[in-house]
Amino acid sequence: MVNTSAHRLVGPVAAAAVALAAALAAAGTFLDSGDDRAREYLLVLAIIAVATVAVFGFVVPRGLARERSALLALVLSLLGLASVAAFWSGVPPVLAAGGALLGWAGRDGERGRGLSLLAIAVGVIALVADVAVYVGDIAGSS
């Protein structure tokens, strides 16, 4: 695929995904009552860091280097959507953003265009769902 504009976006998209995941985790952790909140938050930040290195350090760059990575983009986005069930882990934004970025990189390709567009849509849905689950969780605990 070798999309140079997408390569330039890897860092900013990763940073945005980490910022969203960390902010949601902070809200979910510190607006909830309980002991050891700081330790819980640090654990979630560690999970987010590992996921970010895996997705944006290995999977996305290799996907961008391949001619056809639409299926990989869709898998990442679907994993992001499925992981909303474990929203507290901080992983959904990282997976969804990685899938959406790979989908965006392949949207103009001759092959895999439909899967790339679907990966973008599923990634966006996963991000919205993750935020909605956090809002519901915070509102429910108030």
Determine the length of the chain.
Answer: 142
pLDDT in tens, 85-103: 999 999 999 999 999 999 9
What is d(CA 138, CA 142) in angstroms, rounded to the nearest whole number?
6
Look at the chain and report how many structural domains it folds into: 1
Closest Cα to residue 103, out of 58, 69, 61, 139? 69
Among candidate residues 71, 92, 94, 73, the one with its CA nearest the CA of residue 81: 92
The model's pTM? 0.93
d(CA 139, CA 20): 18
Q: What is the pLDDT of residue 123?
A: 98
Q: Which of 36, 116, 34 is nearest to 68 (CA)?
A: 116
DSSP code of residue 110 = S
Give the per-residue pLDDT at 31.
86
Q: In terms of residue numbers, what domain contains 32?
A: 4-141
pLDDT of residue 119: 97
Q: What does the pLDDT look like over 7-57, one tens digit per residue?
A: 899 999 999 999 999 999 999 999 876 778 999 999 999 999 999 999 999
